[in-house]
């Protein structure tokens, strides 16, 4: 079974290969005349080397301490995935629905994720949060919050 | 005498009503986030950084600095009463502070932490005033090779001293450098690592990166663990320590203050390391080391003093060399550059209002913190009881608004969420994000000084070894890396031979 260091080592190896290819594409140059890809290429090579060392040392390590599946054992990882999905949806809807509506929706859902909260508390807390942040950020700090297609 | 003249000028800046207000806001927010487990000074500064954009640079830095040293005060309250560190620099305070609270001595523990922090914070500021000017003058002799050497040493020390695997720390720093290269090449102006996205031509901002890695990631971990924090039910009395407590603590406070200041100056050092070193020192020199871990007041006084004076010490390299010594300073470095200031040897001469204003505001902030922390401890205990299900949506929302407000860009919000996810995975896979952020902030300086040095030497790396400062810095960094990596190779070879 693959352990967490092996998996992360392979991930960094893939990243390093990508960085080296990209750096070569824009031009590495040499030590006398460095191109835009000079340092990214060196960094990619270093990252690749270290990731190989990580994979090798974690393969030789006995017993493998942490299997990947154990990282999430007994954890409420479903809530993490849910929050991430909600945030992504929120980011995508922010410019369409506008700050007030999108944020109200997000806050109501988030209040219910950890522990049980009554609906009226969620609604009141959502309204207070949206209005308070709107006043602080839009009115006081003059942050241009997205208005959305409804114009507010 | 010039130092008093400058200090007087600093107070004339710091005592302006606007600066008193932002100083108070900073230390209040700092104490609050220090008290609340789950969000440290780093996350708070990242979240509040955009809120300072409308302020003057002096106000912004006064407030952000206030958050940093305020969090050091607040962190001790949670450590003592809940046995969970409010922020990382208060981890060791749990050991004896919570034991004292369990023995009904929460008051003296909280009191000595606050008074020790006040003394250390004040001593640290004196150190900052004394050491900053000569170091800034010395830094004027620095050329690109010297800067490269010191930056390289700073990054190495942070990797070396960060918790967990050195190998992973180095990988994080290298990845931080790679992220800093995203955008237009500083010399030729051609885009690199941009995935053909126009939004990435300006590079990745420090705010989405730090807010994601420290703010959102921290919340995701807390949601996953869903740990209930129980406040110790004890009556808090005798906040003012008695004569015997003072006699036991005075040496620890003084030693912690001096040690913390110098460890704060060192690249890669800071509040966390200094608190651990101070605890170790107190235990080592104590006549009754067996008392440590069972409610020794020196075990609270020393580390709490050390972490506060370290915050002042950490400003020395930032203000004089323009090199952040730890990741919180890296964020302040970002804040200064966003406000159009260039940290470095000329900061004190070009912007004396900023340097002396911030230094003087720290004196004022420390007095405010003493007032906030001693009589208002019952209020902070109530704050500790706010359920996490109420707090986390608000923190998430502040992260999102903060990321959006910089460039009014949904792309930055998406970046923050992505970095939040990456930061969460880093925590799961035991990677520390601090070396990444420090390398990210230092990346442009690292690249420009390296390339300028190589241009000066016509491509020869010998330039780094013919100048004393860069030679010493680089050799020291290499020695540290070799010492750190030695076990990997010896252990791997032994395992391989055993197979």
Average pLDDT along chain B, 499 residues, taken 10 residues at a time: 83 93 91 75 75 85 89 81 71 85 86 89 88 84 88 80 79 94 88 90 86 85 71 69 88 93 77 82 86 88 90 88 83 85 85 90 89 80 77 84 82 93 92 85 88 89 90 91 76 62
Segment B179-184 long-range contacts (CB within 8 Å, at least 24 positions apart): B179/B204, B179/B209, B179/B436, B179/B440, B179/B443, B180/B204, B180/B439, B180/B440, B180/B441, B180/B442, B180/B443, B180/B444, B180/B446, B180/B447, B181/A39, B181/A40, B181/A43, B181/B443, B181/B447
Please count the other Cβ atoms lying within 10 Å of the Cβ belonging to residue B8: 11
Q: Note whether A93 and A34 are same-domain residues.
A: no
The more confidently predicted of residues A61 and B12 is B12
Instruction: Give A111's contacts in chain B (Cβ within 8 Å).
Output: 389-390, 393
Q: Please tell me whether residues A32 and A61 are part of one structural domain.
A: yes
Answer whether residue A105 is part of any domain.
Answer: yes
**Separation of alpha carbons B84 and B390, rounded Å:** 19
Whether A64 maps to a domain, the answer reads yes
Task: Please list every residue in chain A whose beta carbon sits closer than 8 Å to the beta carbon of residue B393.
Answer: 106-107, 110-111, 129
Task: Enter the tokens of residue B217.
Answer: 């990631």
**3 state DSSP class of B37:** coil
Residues A66 and A96 grouped into a single domain: no
The whole-angstrom separation of Cα B130 and Cα B257 is 15
Q: Are B399 and B423 in contact (CB under 8 A)?
A: no
Asked whether residue A132 is assigned to any structural domain, the reply reads yes
Report the complex ipTM: 0.92
Say whether B191 sits in a helix, a strand or coil.
strand
pLDDT for position B179: 95
Q: Do B393 and A107 touch (CB under 8 A)?
A: yes
Q: Tell me which residue of B200, B445, B410, B416 sits closest to B337, measured CA to CA.
A: B445
pLDDT of residue B47: 72
Q: Do residues A86 and A110 lie in contact, with contact meaning Cβ atoms separated by under 8 Å? A: yes
Pairwise pLDDT comparison (A60 vs B66), residue with the higher score: B66
Q: Which two tokens stand for residue B422?
A: 């990456």
Q: Is B374 on the interface with A (CB under 8 A)?
A: no
The pLDDT, as a whole number, for residue B400 is: 87
Q: Compare all CA atoms of chain B with the CA of A129 and give the residue at the minimum distance.
A: B394
**pLDDT value, residue B17:** 93
DSSP assigned state of B228: P
Helix (H, G, I), strand (E, B) or coil at A3: strand
Q: In chain B, whose CA is at the least distance from the CA of A96?
A: B410
Neighbours of A74 (CB within 10 A): 8
B429, B439, B456: best mutation site toward chain A, by most A Cβ within 10 Å? B429
Residue A119 falls within a domain, yes or no?
yes
Confidence of residue A20 (pLDDT cuts 50, 70, 90): very high
With respect to residue A145, please indicate whether it lies within any of the assigned structural domains: no
Q: In terms of domains, do A56 and A88 share one?
A: no
To the nearest whole Å, the CA of A17 is away from the closest chain B CA by 12
Q: What is the pLDDT of residue B403?
A: 82
Please tell me the predicted confidence (pLDDT) of residue A15: 96
Residue of B22, B53, B55, B185 to mutate, interface with A, max A Cβ within 10 Å = B185
B228 touches chain A (CB under 8 A): no
Contact A148, A98 (CB under 8 A): yes
- Are residues A64 and A91 located together in one domain of the fold? no
Q: Is A24 inside any structural domain?
A: yes
Residue ranges of E strands in B19-144: none
Whole-angstrom distance, CA of residue B56 vs CA of residue B459: 42
> In the prediction, which pLDDT does B190 show?
87
Total beta-carbon pairs less than 8 A apart between chain A and chain B = 172
Specify the pLDDT at position B42: 74
Q: Which of B62, B40, B80 is nearest to B304 (CA)?
A: B80
Residue A120 lies inside a defined structural domain of this protein? yes
Q: Mean pLDDT throughout A72-85?
A: 84
B492 closest CB neighbour out of A8, A46, A57 = A57
pLDDT of B46 reads 75
Instruction: Note whether A62 and A90 are same-domain residues.
Output: no
Chain B partners within 8 Å of A107 (Cβ): 393, 397
pLDDT of residue A50: 93
Domain ranges of chain B: 2-498
Which domain range does residue A17 map to?
Answer: 4-72
For residues A50 and A99, membership in a common domain is answered with no
* DSSP-derived 3-state class of residue A29: strand
Among A72, A88, A123, residue at a domain's last position: A72
Q: Could you give the CA distance from residue B64 to residue B57 in angstroms, rounded to a whole number? A: 10
CB contact under 8 A, A76 and B223: yes
pLDDT at site B219: 85
List chain A residues with CB under 8 Å of B414: 88, 91
For residue A9, pLDDT beyond 70:
yes
pLDDT (0 to 100) of residue A22: 93
In this structure, is residue A150 part of a structural domain? no
pLDDT recorded at residue A112:
80
- Predicted pLDDT of residue A58: 86
Question: Do residue A47 and residue A89 come from a single domain?
Answer: no
How many distinct structural domains can be found in chain A? 2
Q: Touching check for B167 and chain A: CB below 8 Å?
A: yes
């Amino acid at each position: 079974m693959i352990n967490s260091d092996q998996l992360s080592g392979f991930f960094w190896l893939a990243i390093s290969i990508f960085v080296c290819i990209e750096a070569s594409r824009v031009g590495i140059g040499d030590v006398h005349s460095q191109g835009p890809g000079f340092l990214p290429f060196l960094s990619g090579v270093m990252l690749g080397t270290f990731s190989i060392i990580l994979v090798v040392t974690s393969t030789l390590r006995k017993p493998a301490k942490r299997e990947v599946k154990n990282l999430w054992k007994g954890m409420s990882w479903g809530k993490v995935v849910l929050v991430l999905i909600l945030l992504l949806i929120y980011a995508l809807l922010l410019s369409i629905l506008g700050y007030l509506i999108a944020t109200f929706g997000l806050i109501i859902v988030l209040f219910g994720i950890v522990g049980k909260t009554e609906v009226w508390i969620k609604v009141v807390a959502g309204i207070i949060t949206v209005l308070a942040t709107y006043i602080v950020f839009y009115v006081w700090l003059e942050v241009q919050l997205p208005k959305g297609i409804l114009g507010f | 005498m010039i130092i008093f003249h400058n200090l007087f000028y600093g107070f004339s800046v710091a005592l302006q009503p606007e600066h008193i207000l932002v100083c108070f806001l900073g230390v209040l927010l700092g104490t609050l986030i220090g008290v609340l487990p789950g969000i440290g000074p780093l996350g708070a500064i990242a979240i509040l950084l955009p809120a300072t954009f409308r302020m003057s640079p002096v106000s912004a830095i006064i407030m952000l600095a206030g958050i940093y040293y305020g969090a050091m005060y607040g962190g001790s309250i949670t450590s003592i009463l809940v046995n969970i560190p409010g922020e990382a620099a208060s981890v060791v305070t749990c050991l004896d502070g919570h034991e004292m609270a369990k023995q009904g001595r929460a008051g003296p523990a909280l009191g000595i932490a606050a008074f020790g922090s006040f003394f250390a914070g004040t001593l640290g500021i004196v150190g900052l005033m004394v050491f900053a000017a000569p170091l800034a003058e010395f830094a004027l002799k620095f050329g690109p090779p010297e800067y490269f050497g010191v930056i390289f040493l700073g990054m190495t020390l942070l990797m070396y001293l960060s918790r967990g695997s050195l190998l992973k720390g180095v990988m994080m720093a290298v990845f931080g450098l790679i992220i800093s290269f995203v955008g237009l090449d500083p010399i030729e102006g051609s885009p690199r690592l941009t995935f053909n996205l126009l939004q990435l031509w300006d590079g990745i901002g420090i705010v989405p990166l730090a807010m994601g890695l420290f703010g959102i990631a921290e919340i995701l971990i807390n949601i996953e663990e869903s740990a209930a924090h129980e406040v110790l039910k004890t009556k808090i009395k005798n906040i003012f320590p008695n004569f015997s407590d003072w006699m036991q603590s005075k040496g620890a406070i003084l030693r912690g203050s001096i040690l913390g200041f110098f460890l704060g100056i060192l690249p890669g050092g800071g509040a966390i390391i200094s608190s651990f070193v101070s605890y170790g020192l107190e235990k080592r020199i104590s006549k009754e080391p067996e008392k440590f871990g069972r409610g020794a007041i020196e075990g609270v006084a020393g580390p709490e003093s050390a972490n506060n004076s370290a915050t002042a010490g950490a400003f020395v390299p930032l203000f004089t060399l323009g090199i952040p010594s730890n990741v919180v300073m890296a964020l302040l470095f970002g804040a200064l550059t966003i406000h159009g200031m260039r940290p470095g040897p000329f900061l004190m001469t070009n912007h004396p209002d900023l340097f002396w204003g911030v230094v003087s505001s720290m004196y004022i902030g420390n007095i405010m913190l003493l007032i906030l922390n001693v009589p208002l401890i019952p209020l902070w205990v109530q704050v500790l009881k706010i359920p996490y299900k109420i707090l986390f949506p608000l923190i998430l929302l502040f992260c999102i608004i903060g990321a959006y407000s910089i460039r009014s860009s949904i792309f930055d919000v998406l970046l923050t969420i992505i970095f939040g996810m990456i930061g969460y995975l880093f925590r799961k896979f035991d990677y520390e994000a601090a070396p990444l952020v420090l390398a990210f902030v230092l990346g442009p300086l690292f690249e420009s000084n390296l390339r300028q040095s190589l241009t000066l030497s016509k491509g020869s790396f010998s330039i780094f070894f013919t100048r004393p400062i860069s030679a010493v810095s680089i050799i020291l960094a290499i020695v540290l890396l070799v010492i750190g990596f030695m076990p990997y190779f010896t252990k791997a070879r032994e395992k391989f031979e055993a197979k």
